[in-house]
Chain A
Amino acid sequence: MTTGTQFDTLPERAETQRGLVAVAMSGGVDSSAVAALLQQQGRAVVGLTMQLWNQRRLPELQGDGPAQHRCCSLDDVYDAKAVAQHLNFPHYVVNFEEQFEERVVRPFVDQYLSGRTPIACTNCNTDVKFEPLLRMARQIGAERLATGHYARIRRNDATGRWELLRARDESKDQSYFLWGLSQEQLSRSDFPLGELTKEEVRALARRANLPVAEKPESMELCFVPTGNYVQFIQAYSLERGISLHHSEGEIVNENGDIIGRHDGVHNFTIGQRKGLGFAAGKPLYVLSIDPEKNRVVVGEDDVLRKAVCEVEGVNWISRDQPSDTIRAFAKIRHKHEPAPAIIEPLEAGIARVTFDAPQRAITPGQAAVFHDGEVVLGGGWIR
């Protein structure tokens, strides 16, 4: 079909992409292991690495630590490319900077400024990875998108629904960040690590001689690699022309008595003890944040415990929306042990969660995820 001799050495591509699976590759060991695993299973793999945040932006926030701790660093892209080259499958970097900012970064900052404590990873999964990235995967001819998430997907033949299950390795389970996925998204996604432990994944990476087999895990939010959210929120707001330098307000107790001052509600999260800036007889914790009055309400530990909360934006995964109350276990933050509760559907997308026993620091902006054993029934945003 083509041309002179000089192209004969270029890699040839499969003539049909039937069964092609796209792997979302961050350059870390988990997603790299996914690519290796799928390839070992005989699947045709294409790697996609999302460019999410331009590292030229807010460079002062990228820290001076080693490059792998910088967001969307070129090193991570090169790592993903090195894995693709090692395993010999095509790999592309795809630009989702705009979507990421619009759907993840800006809402994250806005939520903090309105006194909530958001989970950026959930938005990223629901609105970036399993939305435009999954669409792009399908557009380029891949039937499915595989990621390095520790969670499991199962088809329930009785109900015809796609179910989300917690990871076999409880300590690595990431299903808490995946409750927003629709049936359509779940039906086209693969989480091949859901049955494995982290150690098994590392061992797999070593056996496959992956260049990232010994790469340390990144624990921080990808676009705030220093872990300093406050600094990020201030710099990002300043870039949008909003100075947070004069956002001081009052710290009050439950009775409304002023007992101190704070330097901006974005510095606080519910349940926080340290950084309240004053000494007290008993330890005090942030009970609630009132952005309207620019106030932080504090109190003692026992007041921090509440039995009831409401959730919005509810998504039911493993079952239809129940018509009546159901009993389930609810998990209110990533490291929370699911606690027994009654879930009561209110109007569309809203539900009330009543725990059998009060739970500490139920935090607006976090998610309440409902479990029945290993099955994730659904979840919603705590409001």
Chain B
Amino acid sequence: MGSLMNRVYLDFNATTPVEPQVLDAMLPYFSAEFANAASIHTPGQRARAAVETAREQVAALIGARPQEIVFTSGGTESDNHAIFGVVGQAFLPVSSSRDANSPHLVTTAIEHEAVLNACQALEKQGARVTYLPTNREGLIDLQDLRRAIRAETVLITIMHANNEIGAVQPLEEIGRVAKEADVYFHTDAVQSAGKIPIDVNKLQVDLLSISGHKLYAPKGIGALYVRGGTRLRQLLYGGHHQRGFRPGTENVAGIVGLGKAAEIAHKSLAEEARRISALRDKLQHGLLQRVPHSRLNAGAAPRTPNTTNLVFPGVEGEALLIALDLKGLACSTGAACSSGAVEPSHVLTAIGLPPEEARASLRFSLGRHTTSADIDFALNVVPAAVAQLRELSPTYGKMAEAR
């Protein structure tokens, strides 16, 4: 039973551990190479060189030019910078009363809060926002997108891969629509970067957000791809760092870490995707077989290779999550609010799950360190935990009879 003492982590969409090689690359930049990358002296120039190398590494991961990469504090800042930057540049200032000329944005109902809440803040300032619905698989309809675009549309912001269900939107087609309509196109690629290939030119995106800690770099570092020529109002005001796009002394160690992590991800992407998707498929197949009445959420969509989201009717996902954690398995349900309590997932309700099924859903997200033994462990503990919960469920008995 000693093996149970260990902890299995299947929540890599929440965050990833810093890769040892990444940490090694970063360490010199805390003390030995501590200089400010904006300084003119030799130590400063060495820090600058490290930052520029990292810029190249990040650019290579997404097929961009290095000068199109802006380092930020993470995915949330990147999303905010893209959204407020485009709208602020197009309409300065945004008029406080909504009228026919108010700037218009198109997004989806399943975006991350960093995008949704930025859009809602703009709505309060007078902008108009269309939240595109998705089908049961979490995918938008391109016809809906075309219909949503109007003369005042300044930005389309649609995520690449969804954090909860892994569904990958047809960015290439969306990019084509945006191009035809001559509207800026931003994508939150926080969950796709490093997991599936990204080529900003093929996808025709103008802006793309990346978060370091989702790809084995540390928390607190991210990047925003800004296609050359994109008119973007800056979000922060300060010195002239990063061409004035993003002032603030560069987080050299974090930037070096993100660069190294991007390099590793770029190299191992195809092989890792194959390995992880095989494990993911083993997990979801096993759970569907062993847990009666379980179903996949968005299982027919193209998905990131590491993510699976299942509904276990008759259980409270919150209780299941805690039961599994106490048994040593870390996974996720819905979104946590500031107190840490689980709130019903806006993503699962948006793809059409009734609230009770949204609450009965669990996300497993695998990563570079997931082993076959981890999956075996999950396949042992999850069905047992679900059975235990259902035994005490006030609704499951009735539900099972009705089937």
Residues of A bordering B, CB below 8 Å: 1-7, 10, 12-13, 15-17, 20, 46, 49, 51, 72, 74, 77, 81, 90, 92-95, 97, 135-136, 138-141
Contact = CB atoms under 8 A, between A and B. Distances in A.
Given A1-B373, A139-B323, A74 B6 contact: no
Contact of B7 (A12, A77, A136, A138): A12
Nearest to B390: A139
Given A3-B370, A13-B7, A51-B341, 16 more contacts: A2-B8, A2-B374, A4-B17, A7-B7, A13-B5, A72-B339, A81-B340, A95-B318, A95-B337, A95-B341, A136-B318, A136-B319, A136-B322, A140-B319, A140-B323, A141-B326
A2 B371 contact: yes
Contacts of A136: 316, 318-319, 322
Given A77-B340, A93-B339, A95-B318, A17 B9 contact: no
B328 interface: yes
A3 B319 contact: no
Given A15-B1, A138-B392, A90 B341 contact: no
A135 B392 contact: yes
Nearest to B7: A10
Contact of A12 (B6, B316, B318, B319): B6
B339 A2 contact: no
Given A46-B326, A77-B339, A139-B319, A3 B369 contact: yes
A141 B388 contact: yes
B296 interface: no
Please provide the 3 A-B residue pairs with the shortest distance between their CB atoms, ordered closest to farther. Answer: A51-B341, A95-B341, A1-B3
Contacts, number: 108
What interface size band does chain B fall in? Answer: 35 or more
Interface in B351-390: 369-371, 373-374, 377, 388-389
A7 B7 CA distance: 8
Interface of B: 1-9, 17-18, 20, 315-316, 318-320, 322-323, 325-328, 337-343, 369-371, 373-374, 377, 388-389, 392-394
A1 B8 contact: yes
A300 B329 CA distance: 66
Contacts of B342: 94-95
A68 to B, nearest CB: 15
Contact of B316 (A7, A10, A17, A139): A139
A223 to B, nearest CB: 15
A13 B327 contact: yes
Contacts of A93: 339-341
A81 B340 CA distance: 10
